[in-house]
């Protein structure tokens, strides 16, 4: 019988690292499948425990330069991640501090800037060596380590390119310093080339690590919602126990205003439960004996007793966490172009450089080692991956910065890469397309009652129900009057005595239990409900005086945005709300495809079904219940007013909380990826043209270094064009 386990992996730096681990593990006959998630730094392995054990799996991972260990289930976020992020930031800051004087000396290489004063100390070889050495071997040591692991496993990545290019500049400079020792005049040094390049790449690595933390933050915040303890009946007494000590079948006590600790079934009492953290719907659900309640939801009304039905991994909240983690384990569909090409590019460049060296040394210069070495270095320097390394991150940085000016926060380069490929946009209803709270949309008077507004406001002011808040807000100008015999009827409504008259406000079925509704009243009710409204009645004495319709209204400009999106994309709406309400909102907004009565785990399954039909899906939501579907989708977009968990689980967050920003999200993605492709094209063309010229001996190393610098400048300038995109 196969066993599946997930392990924490440390030491991965790029997609090639994850691929190597997968390749090594999947070669084993005892391992059915191994997948590695670079972002979460986890490996999920399905294996036969009779043929291989966990220790052997860990050893295989260790043999290729990585470390595997068990996950601490009580701490979904490893402190190591935060420490590594801080360490990466400090490495960049120190590298920038050391490289700044060397960067200044670059100006000395340009004749048109010879008017800028350059202190003699900055040009001294030993001074430059002292600054460049710690950058090269201490701060940049991670690139040597990564390059060694890649080469050891017969592959190549950006670490190989960085180590090769910076080493060529550094060691050539060191060689020239020794060669010209004791001789006056200018010494051709390129310490600044290696130092500045490493500094820029360290900055990029810092941003990558920071972006990787967002997905795991979502898991941490979900886990934090779990209640830690509960009141439990034990041997005739009520004691406070940790939820780890509670078993299925135990009786728990839940006070009004407290969170429900575990999934359970009510055995005594009735109440209203705020399940918005699970369902996304703002209106509490009335519960009574026999009804199921969900752990971590809020008991808003009365004291209840319940029998525990699920514990541990079977809890609804833990199931949501599991769905999020599983969705994050799936590999991204788009790989970085530069990482793919580097496997071919690196050995090709090294081969050309060695061939050029041998050709010049044995044939063209008759054993002139210095000249042959200069040719070799020129090829390596001209092929240094500075422009190639800057091509993607600079466009991403400028594009995402431009997006931030409009209140659009892309979480990663992958977000920009994949957004342009989507063809289906799925919207959650509540809080995304609608305002997220009910409000009065219509009132119908059947009996003229003086001061009825005062009666409604005064009675509803006694309740904490969201519909009551909406009524109090609607009748805010009314006066408060004295109430007697106030009573809450769970699941139905409220009642009391005002000015000697009985008044009841609640569902029409509640009203109809005392009075008979006419056919006209029933027809009015049906018309209002067909528009997606919740209809309540106001009964004064023995007559229905007023019918009030409340609805969660669509946000402004939503209909216009949907119409714009439907010109190019399929638009879908899903919600945990009723079929009638969902269809009414869909008709109003012009959405043709809907899913109603959808539970949290079903949302992710709907997204997955659309993907299985070869759709690239964007999910737009704002609640905790949207987290699994935001992760499952190709691109998840969270509204700015949504929960932190929804935002952390998403690829894009909309600060201004309106879907009217989505067309701009799509536009920015398209233009940014186009810009990246332009940069990569120019970077590769630069190498394709520059390498043969250097191999032919027409470029001195310092000229090659200058050309490399200009290629980087051209890439940056092209990326800066993204700032001019019109809002």
Q: Which residues are catalytic?
A: 428
Q: Are 219 and 325 in contact (CB under 8 A)?
A: yes
User: What is the C-alpha separation between 600 and 323, in angstroms, rounded?
Assistant: 10
Q: 475-484 long-range contacts, Cβ below 8 Å, gap at least 24?
A: 477/453, 478/453, 478/454, 479/451, 479/454, 480/454, 481/451, 481/454, 481/455, 482/458, 483/458, 483/459
- Sort strands 534-540 and 501-507 into parallel, antiparallel or unpaired: antiparallel
- For 78, 352, 478, the CA distances from 81, given in Å and listed in that order, are 6, 40, 56
Joined tokens for residue 197? 């390049």
Residue 83's contacts (CB-CB under 8 Å, 6 or more residues apart) are none
DSSP 452: H
Q: Which two tokens stand for residue 396?
A: 């991403």
- Positive or negative, the Cα torsion across 105, 109, 115, 119? positive
Q: Residue 216 burial (CB < 10 Å; 0-12/13-18/19+)?
A: buried
Buried b (16+ CB within 10 A) or exposed e, 113-131: eeeeeeeeebeebebbbeb
Per DSSP, helices labelled H in 360-409 are 369-382, 386-405
Q: Could you tell me the CA-to-CA distances from 35 to 31, 62, 139, 242, 337 in Å, in that order?
A: 11, 16, 31, 35, 21
The C-alpha atoms of residue 512 and residue 658 are separated, in whole angstroms, by 41
What whole-number distance in Å separates Cα of residue 680 and Cα of residue 677?
A: 5
Considering just the CA atoms, what is the radius of gyration of the chain in Å?
33
d(CA 596, CA 580): 9
3-state DSSP helix/strand/coil percent for the chain, to nearest 5?
A: 55, 20, 30
User: What is the DSSP track for 684-702?
Assistant: HHHHHHHHHHHHTT---HH
- Yes or no: say if 459 and 503 are a contact pair by the CB < 8 Å rule: yes
- By three-state DSSP, how is residue 530 classified? coil
Instruction: Give the distance, in angstroms, between the CA of residue 520 and the centroid of all CA atoms in the same chain.
Output: 52
CA–CA distance, 105 with 360 (Å, rounded to integer): 31
Identify the CA nearest to 140 among candidates 202, 193, 80, 196.
202
H helix intervals, 360-489: 369-382, 386-405, 413-419, 452-460, 466-474
Q: DSSP code of 464?
A: -
**Residue reference for tokens 């008759």:** 366
Burial 175-212 (b: 16+ CB within 10 A, else e): ebbeeeeeeeeebbbbbbbbbbbbbbbbbbbbbbbebb
Six token digits for residue 661: 């920003």
Pair of tokens at residue 186: 């200018």
Determine which helix (DSSP H) or strand (DSSP E) holds 298, and give its type and residue range: strand 298-299
Measured distance between the N- and C-terminal CA atoms of the chain, rounded to whole angstroms = 57
Measured CA distances, 490 to 294, 535, 542, 639 (Å): 18, 17, 21, 33
């Amino acid at each position: 019988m196969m066993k599946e386990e997930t392990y924490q992996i440390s030491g991965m730096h790029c997609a090639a690292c994850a691929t190597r681990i997968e390749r090594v593990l999947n070669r084993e006959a005892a391992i059915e499948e191994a997948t590695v998630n670079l972002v979460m730094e986890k490996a999920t392995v399905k294996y036969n425990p009779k043929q291989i054990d966990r220790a052997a799996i860990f050893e295989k991972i260790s043999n290729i330069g990585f470390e595997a260990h068990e996950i601490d289930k009580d701490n979904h976020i490893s402190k190591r991640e935060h420490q590594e992020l801080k360490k990466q930031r400090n490495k960049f800051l120190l590298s920038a501090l050391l490289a700044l004087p060397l960067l200044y000396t670059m100006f000395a290489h340009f004749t048109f800037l010879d008017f800028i004063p350059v202190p003699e100390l900055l040009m001294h070889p030993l001074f430059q060596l002292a600054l460049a050495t710690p950058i090269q071997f201490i701060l940049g040591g991670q690139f040597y380590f990564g390059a060694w692991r890649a080469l050891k496993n017969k592959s190549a990545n950006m670490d190989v390119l960085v180590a090769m290019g910076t080493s060529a500049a550094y060691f050539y400079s060191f060689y020239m310093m020794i060669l010209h020792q004791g001789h006056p005049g200018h010494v051709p040094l390129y310490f600044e080339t290696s130092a500045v390049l490493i500094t820029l790449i360290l900055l990029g690595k810092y941003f990558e690590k920071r972006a990787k933390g967002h997905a795991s933050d979502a898991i941490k915040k979900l886990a934090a919602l779990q209640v830690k303890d509960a009141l439990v009946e034990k041997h005739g007494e009520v004691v406070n126990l940790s939820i780890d000590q509670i078993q299925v079948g135990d009786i728990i006590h839940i006070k009004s205003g407290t969170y429900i600790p575990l999934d359970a079934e009510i055995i005594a009492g009735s109440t209203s439960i705020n399940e918005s953290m699970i369902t996304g719907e703002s209106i509490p659900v009335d519960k009574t004996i026999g009804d199921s309640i969900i752990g971590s939801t809020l008991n808003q009304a009365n004291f209840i007793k319940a029998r525990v039905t699920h514990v541990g991994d079977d809890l609804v909240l833990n199931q949501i966490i599991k769905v999020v983690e599983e969705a994050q384990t799936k590999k991204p569909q788009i790989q970085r172009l530069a990482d793919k090409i580097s496997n071919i590019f690196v050995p090709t460049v090294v081969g050309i450089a060695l061939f050029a060296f041998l050709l010049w040394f044995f044939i063209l210069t008759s054993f002139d080692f210095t000249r042959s070495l200069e040719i070799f270095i020129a090829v390596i320097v001209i092929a240094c991956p500075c422009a190639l390394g800057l091509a993607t991150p600079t466009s991403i940085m400028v594009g995402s910065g431009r997006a931030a000016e409009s209140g659009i926060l892309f979480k990663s380069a992958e977000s920009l890469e994949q957004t342009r490929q989507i063809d289906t946009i799925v919207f959650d209803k509540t809080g995304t397309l609608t305002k997220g709270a009910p409000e009065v949309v219509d009132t119908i008077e059947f009996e003229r009652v003086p001061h009825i507004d005062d009666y409604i406001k005064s009675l509803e002011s006694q309740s904490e129900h969201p519909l009551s808040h909406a009524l109090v807000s609607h009748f805010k100008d009314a006066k408060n009057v004295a109430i007697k015999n106030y009573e809450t009827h769970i699941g139905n409504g409220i009642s009391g005595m005002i000015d000697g008259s009985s008044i009841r406000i609640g569902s029409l079925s509640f009203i109809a239990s005392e009075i008979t509704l006419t056919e006209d009243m029933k027809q009015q009710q049906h018309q209002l409900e067909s528009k997606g409204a919740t209809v309540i009645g106001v009964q004064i004495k023995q007559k229905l005086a007023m019918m009030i319709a409340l609805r969660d209204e669509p946000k402004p400009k939503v209909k216009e945005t949907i119409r714009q999106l439907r010109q190019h994309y399929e638009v879908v709406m899903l919600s945990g709300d009723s079929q009638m309400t969902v269809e009414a909102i869909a008709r109003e907004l012009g959405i043709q495809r809907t899913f109603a009565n959808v539970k949290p785990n079903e949302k992710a399954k709907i997204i997955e079904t659309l993907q299985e039909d070869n759709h690239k899906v964007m999910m737009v939501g704002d609640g905790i219940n949207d987290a699994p579907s935001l992760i499952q989708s190709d691109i998840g977009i969270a509204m700015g007013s949504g929960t932190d968990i929804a935002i952390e689980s998403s690829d894009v967050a909309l600060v201004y909380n309106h879907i009217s920003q989505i067309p701009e999200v799509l536009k920015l993605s398209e233009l940014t990826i186009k810009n990246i492709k332009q940069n990569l094209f120019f970077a590769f063309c630069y190498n394709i043209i520059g390498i043969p010229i250097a191999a032919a001996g027409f470029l001195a190393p310092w000229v090659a270094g200058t050309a490399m610098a200009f290629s980087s400048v051209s890439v940056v300038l092209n990326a800066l064009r993204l700032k001019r995109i019109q809002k």
